[in-house]
Chain A
Amino acid sequence: MADDWIERVVSNPKYQELKAKRSSFGWWLTLSEMVVYYGFIALVAFNKPFLATKIGSGVITLGMPLGIGVLVYTIIITNIYVRRANSVYDDLTQQVVKGALK
């Protein structure tokens, strides 16, 4: 009995769709965060002169917007995921749950 509904959920194509879509979205975003962060650290480690390049005629260096940019990027992609998961993926989840409880 207990295994019955698990079987039903697993065989539901909506469930497979939810799993595939949500996890690939999550993994791509994870990868992008790692590329952005470790890319920034690699610049700091190997190419300091690039980060020290001045923007235009002012004193602000390229490193400043890039550094703040990593913080802002992190905030933005986190919220994009939350928003999408709470709408699109949650709708799918609801359909799967309904199917399971039938």
Chain B
Amino acid sequence: MTRLFKPKSAMALIALMAVAAGVYAAGPDVGQAAKQPTNWTAIAMFAIFVSITLWITKWAASRTKSAADFYTAGGGITGFQNGLAIAGDYMSAASFLGISGLVFASGFDGLIYSIGWLVGWPIITFLMAERLRNLGKFTFADVAGYRFDQTPIRIFAACGSLAVVAFYMTAQMVGAGQLIKLLFGMDYLYAEILVGSIMMIYVLFGGMTATTWVQIIKACMLLGGATFMAFSVLMQFGFSPEAMFVKAIEVHSKKEAIMFPGGYIKDPVSAISVGMALMFGTAGLPHILMRFFTVPSAKEARKSVGWATTWIGYFYILTFIIGFGAITNLIPNPADYFVGGDIAKGLNGGGNMAAVHLSRAVGGSVFMGFISAVAFATILAVVAGLTLSGASAVSHDLYASVWRHGRVDQAQELRVSKMTTVALGVIAVTLGIAFEKENVAYMVMLAFVIAASANFPVLFMSVLWKDCTTKGAVTGGFVGLVLAIGLTVVSPAVWVAVLKHPAGSAWFPYDSAAIFSIPAAFITIWLVSLMDRGARAAIDRAGYPAQEVRSETGIGSSSASGH
């Protein structure tokens, strides 16, 4: 039995860092990656992916004429296609590289982490999906503000959407730069500009149709690649999980500890709070909510979320096998995969590279090129979806509804969305470059906390509670938004890790603000609505029966089709 990780404390530290990165980072926090030699196989694979998707964009452009085409692909996506596209939107490079890396570092803890990312989907299915489809048209503000005073609710919805998009996007762009530097051996700056420009072409010319197909293709590539890896690993052990675990325990420095929970949960409050952010945040992500408007009916909306949950859950089971496969394949060959051949120094390129190294171990350098290209394509697809939802928040909610009070023709609105897309592309690249050397690990969790504490409560109460009023929804939504950001700033993830205050000095000691900010938003909506006696409140309440009939039956719902 070899002693793999010599200094125990160093290993404990690495594991702790990996877990911490995993907890705070949903984004592909690959840290400060060292530039690698140029990987031509990966670049060639990626070039093929880009060519195919640009060709699809050209086809999509010929069908993208109206605002409905641009925002929702004319409502012509089927449930199965939309399910794949949602999965493509949701399975970020972080899920793939981060979770398999976490399983590689600490085994069972990675499984606990991945479960959190799935449990939001049933909530969307049971409570939101068909109601969203029946009430909505282009953005989630259409749903949340169905019976409310348009100006305040849309200003709030745009703030909530743009805050989520900004943090999620920055994390993706920084992750993209680091990942591309690592996988392709390309300069950070060029990587940023490349991601920004390709994404802009997809969205600008192909709108939702192109974005959807990019996500579908990427989802198939990711699911196919991950299936092949998990299958290869299981085949090595004659399809006996028992044999795989025995081997993993034998080679891993933590021995049997990889088979049960370790240090993932430090305190129960943080665990539940992170769980709440993931569970309810999923139902408040604007780029995910927007996907429900691309299908023609409530039936297809339900089918899409059924498929999405199935694919995402299947994918997390695969990442678990992939993580264990990385343990059994990489650790016995330190010379090939670890810095200087020394396991104590960690994997080449960092802990999140476990899946990429495993792809070489099971499929050679061509397959590794494929997986690298998939990781890049993943970021492109996610960033394109985010940009589209940000652009629709600006053009549909702020410009068309707030600024022009709905008195605007489609061509004008479409022009504003395209201008916003360009602006968001430039902002994304700028943020990516500005934050290159910053710690962005907290940003994806913050995006989920905002989605869970601002967007979700407003959406939920406006759709399901008859006495909810404009004033209540908007006040509560802003309370959730401000608390989510405020508490995150004074939590260890930002206060200590980013602002460099001494450890233990954070005012808010938990990993996620959700356990306080979500109830605060709900209680504020409830109290303010109850006390609201204004003339508008009467209109808001009187509008409920019509809204409920439409949300339950779909009568009168927007066909989303511009044809």
Give the interface of A toward B (CB within 8 A): 2-3, 5-6, 9-10, 15, 18-19, 22, 26-27, 29-30, 33-34, 37-38, 40-42, 44-46, 48, 51-52, 58-61, 63-64, 67-68, 70-72, 74-75, 77-79, 81-83, 85-86, 90, 93, 96-97, 100-101
Contact = CB atoms under 8 A, between A and B. Distances in A.
Contact of B302 (A10, A64, A72, A86): A86
B553 A93 contact: yes
Contacts of B314: 75
Given A30-B122, A74-B119, A78-B306, A60 B259 contact: yes
B260 A68 contact: no
Top-4 shortest CB links A-B: A52-B260, A82-B306, A26-B126, A45-B268
Interface in B214-272: 241-242, 245-246, 249, 256, 259-261, 264-265, 268, 271-272
B302 A61 contact: no
Contacts of A77: 122
Contacts of A64: 108, 111, 259
Interface of B: 108, 111-112, 114-116, 118-119, 121-123, 125-127, 130, 241-242, 245-246, 249, 256, 259-261, 264-265, 268, 271-272, 275, 279, 298-299, 302-303, 305-306, 309-310, 313-314, 316-317, 320, 545-546, 548-549, 552-555
B160 to A, nearest CB: 23
Contacts of B305: 78, 82
A63 B545 CA distance: 47
Nearest to B242: A58
B552 A19 contact: yes
The majority secondary structure among interface residues of chain B is: helix
Contacts of A59: 242, 245-246, 249, 256, 259
Contacts of A71: 114-115, 118, 313, 316-317
Contacts of B545: 6, 10
B98 to A, nearest CB: 17
B321 to A, nearest CB: 10
Given A52-B260, A60-B259, 20 more contacts: A3-B546, A9-B555, A19-B548, A19-B552, A22-B552, A29-B122, A37-B116, A38-B272, A40-B112, A51-B261, A60-B241, A61-B108, A63-B108, A64-B108, A68-B317, A71-B114, A78-B305, A78-B310, A93-B298, A97-B554
Residue picked from B298, B306, B553, most chain A C-beta under 10 Å: B553
A33 B111 contact: no
A44 B261 contact: yes
Given A67-B115, A78-B309, A79-B310, A97 B122 contact: no
Contacts of B552: 15, 18-19, 22, 93
B126 A38 contact: no
A61 B108 CA distance: 10
B115 A37 contact: yes
Nearest to A49: B260
B86 to A, nearest CB: 12
Given A41-B265, A68-B317, A71-B317, A78 B259 contact: no
Q: Which of B118, B125, B245 gathers most chain A CB within 10 Å?
A: B125
27 contacts: A2-B546, A3-B546, A18-B553, A37-B275, A38-B275, A40-B115, A44-B265, A58-B242, A59-B242, A59-B246, A59-B256, A60-B245, A63-B108, A64-B108, A67-B112, A70-B115, A71-B114, A71-B115, A74-B118, A78-B121, A78-B310, A81-B302, A81-B306, A85-B302, A86-B302, A96-B553, A100-B555
B302 A37 contact: no
Contacts of A45: 265, 268, 271
A61 B260 contact: yes
A5 B545 CA distance: 11
